[in-house]
Amino acid sequence: MTPRESEIMELVRKDPSLSQQEIADILSIKRSSVAVHINNLSNQGYILGRGYILREEPYIVVVGGANLDIFGYTNEAIVLKDSNPGHITQSTGGVGRNIAENISRLNYRTSLITVIGEDEKGKFILSELNELGIDTENVITLPHERTSVYLAILNEKRDMEIAINDMDIMEKLSPGLLSKKRKIVENAVGTVIDTNLTKESLEYLLTMVNQKYYIDAVSAKKAIKIKHLLNKVYFLKANEYEAEILSDISINSVDDAILAGKELISKGLKSIVITMGEKGSVYVDSKNVEIVKSKPIEVNNATGAGDAFMSAYVYASLQEMKLREKLRFATAASRVALLSERTNSERFILENIVEEMKNVE
């Protein structure tokens, strides 16, 4: 921050309602010069959003996908190649967007970096993000592009049978666009990334922008993009299929997951949780191995459980919880999500997660 930028910060801290012309008059400089300084402060993350919202508290950055989610589910076993009676719901989603919402619901300042189209779906996503109190100054709207759509078919147990994602727009979240957000990322207390980003964008962030990176593997096919970058990752959340792809170890049991985790740590990864559904979750770092299990639960929608786990783990890390408590807290958060019919639950608040911790061993 330059001396002039420090002067401007002090002025808007005292009176956020000052116009650029008023700031220029006080400092005896041109209004255009004030505009340049304000833009620089915004790019560096010192000013968040319109109206000179100052960064007086730490914030987390999430970089990833945002899309419209369409879910169809039946109450009976799915019959293939036939019309199945059921219900269809629509909501906003995307791994990055979901994680940003959940962390924000835990009252931690959150900024989302993503791309949306200049269409009704994009406007809907942006409006909802603003209502949730998430910083949307770094959401990039791209003309002539389609906002991402995720279509999932759930079975009678509310577990996913098949899904189709139309996320071509994520190819546009390039290293060039991300370079304009570099200071926002660097000044955060941590950055969450999902592997919906392109391989080039993942490489840019992990090798060129200094940060503590928490990564959600998303899927086995997408996780492969970070296989050569594991030594740049602070924390990775993966299920057994994603961990198999990254470690080249077949995972059929908790012991297999521990071996896979240790193999990934040997490749430079700092820490990992491998989620295994009813078998529990396995945590591995260079010094620790922890296994956490959840009591049986009636699942309403399994889609948001992984995002909830990741969100809560990141939050617990920022709160400096002890390792075992972090894992129990994150597992309890996934239970809150499983109990909800929506991917992102309005019940995802601190009190409800703490209450669910009694069901985690």
Q: What is the mean pLDDT of each run of 10 residues along the chain (361 residues)?
A: 86 80 89 85 71 68 95 92 92 94 95 96 94 92 95 88 92 96 92 97 97 97 97 98 98 98 98 96 98 92 90 97 98 94 86 97 90
State how far the Cα of 163 lies from the Cα of 329, in Å rounded to an integer. 29
Q: Is 160 helix (H, G, I), strand (E, B) or coil?
A: strand
Task: Read off the DSSP letter of residue 1.
Answer: -
List the structure tokens of 187: 């000044």
Domains in the chain, CATH or no CATH each: 1-56 (1.10.10.10)
Q: What is the pLDDT of residue 288?
A: 98
Please report the pLDDT score of residue 39 as a whole number.
Answer: 82
Supply the pLDDT for residue 55.
55
Instruction: Assign 3-state DSSP to the chain and report helix, strand, coil percentages, each to 5.
Output: 45, 20, 35
Give the span between the Cα atoms of 177 and 244, in whole angstroms.
32
Q: Residue 28: left if φ>0, alpha if ψ -120 to 50, beta else—which one? A: left
C-alpha to C-alpha distances, 133 to 31, 55, 82, 103, nearest whole angstrom: 30, 14, 42, 11
Whose structure tokens read 């577990």?
159
What pLDDT is stored for residue 56 in this prediction?
A: 56
307 and 343 in contact (C-beta within 8 Å)? yes
C-alpha to C-alpha distances, 349 to 132, 247, 299, 312, 331, nearest whole angstrom: 13, 34, 19, 10, 14
Sign (positive/negative) of CA torsion 193, 198, 201, 205?
A: positive
- Dump the DSSP string for 285-321: ESS-EEEE-B-----S--TTHHHHHHHHHHHHHHTT-
Q: Which regions of the chain does DSSP assign to beta strands (E)? A: 60-63, 67-74, 86-93, 110-117, 139-142, 148-154, 160-166, 190-194, 213-216, 235-239, 271-275, 281-285, 289-292
pLDDT for position 52? 56
What are the tens digits of pLDDT across the range 92-139? 999 999 999 999 999 999 999 999 999 999 999 999 999 999 999 899
Side chain identity at residue 222, one-letter code: K
Contact status, residue 122 vs residue 149, Cβ threshold 8 Å: no
Strand, helix or coil for residue 200 = helix
Q: Which of 181, 149, 175, 179 is nearest to 62 (CA)?
A: 181
- Kind plus residue range of the DSSP H or E element containing 76: none
- Output the pLDDT for position 199: 97
How far apart, in whole angstroms, are the C-alpha atoms of residue 83 and residue 63?
38
